[in-house]
């Protein structure tokens, strides 16, 4: 499996991982700063990682990002390793679908923004956070991540599941002035 990411100082990297019935193992990583991250570069990185770490005979499938350069790199790898088949990352496909829903359906986008405001309000104050934990029996809200649209929908699910407890919390504060 290959995946791109940015480190804490905003440098681009590409990782190569191996997955088997025993779990996932990190194989190698390379910074892509100053390099053209085209299909040839990606295919060379994947093939070199396979050759150095697991051997071509031990690979049956490669999974890549859905960007066109990764898709083309997968086809290059398939051409050099005919016994291997390439697939796109299903999680990335779902995330792209959720991103489209989030951006193109205004009611969804507005609801996510309101949920994010609720989460920010709660996590901004330790008093409110402690109060929420008291009313939800220590259940937590899922925090969203700016790059993973699926987490926005998970955050919504958590708010919906905790809706009754959150309403009681607000009512207790408004009626009794306490948490």
CB-based contacts of 72: which residues, under 8 Å, 6+ apart?
Answer: 39, 43
Are 116 and 82 members of one domain? no
Give the domain-ending residue among 65, 88, 111: 88
Are 169 and 107 members of one domain? yes
pLDDT attached to residue 59: 94
Are 80 and 109 members of one domain? no
Are 82 and 31 members of one domain? yes
Count up the domains in the chain and report the number. 2
Are 82 and 97 members of one domain? no
C-alpha 23/C-alpha 17 separation (Å) is 10
pLDDT digits (tens, 9 = 90+) for 85-129: 999 888 878 888 888 888 899 998 899 888 888 888 888 888 888
C-alpha 43/C-alpha 37 separation (Å) is 10
In this model, does residue 55 exceed pLDDT 90? Answer: yes
pLDDT attached to residue 81: 95
Structural domain for 29, as ranges: 2-88
pLDDT attached to residue 42: 93
Long-range own/partner contacts, residues 125-130 (CB < 8 A, 24 or more apart): 127/179, 130/179
Are 105 and 123 members of one domain? yes
């Amino acid at each position: 499996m290959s995946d791109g990411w940015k480190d804490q100082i905003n440098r681009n990297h590409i990782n190569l991982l191996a997955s088997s019935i025993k779990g996932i193992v990190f194989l190698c990583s390379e910074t892509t700063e100053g390099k053209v991250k085209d299909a040839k570069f990606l295919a060379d990185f994947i093939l070199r990682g396979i050759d150095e770490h697991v051997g071509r005979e031990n690979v049956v499938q490669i999974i890549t990002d859905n960007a066109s350069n990764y898709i083309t790199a997968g086809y290059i790898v398939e051409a050099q390793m005919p016994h291997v088949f390439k697939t796109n990352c299903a999680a990335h496909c779902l995330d792209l679908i959720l991103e489209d829903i989030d951006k193109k359906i205004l009611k969804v986008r507005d609801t996510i923004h309101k949920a994010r405001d609720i989460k920010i309000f709660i996590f901004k104050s330790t008093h409110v956070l402690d109060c929420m934990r008291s009313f939800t029996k220590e259940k937590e809200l899922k925090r969203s991540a700016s790059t993973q649209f699926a987490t926005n929908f998970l955050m919504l699910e958590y708010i919906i599941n905790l809706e009754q407890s959150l309403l009681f919390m607000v009512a207790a504060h408004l009626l009794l002035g306490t948490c």
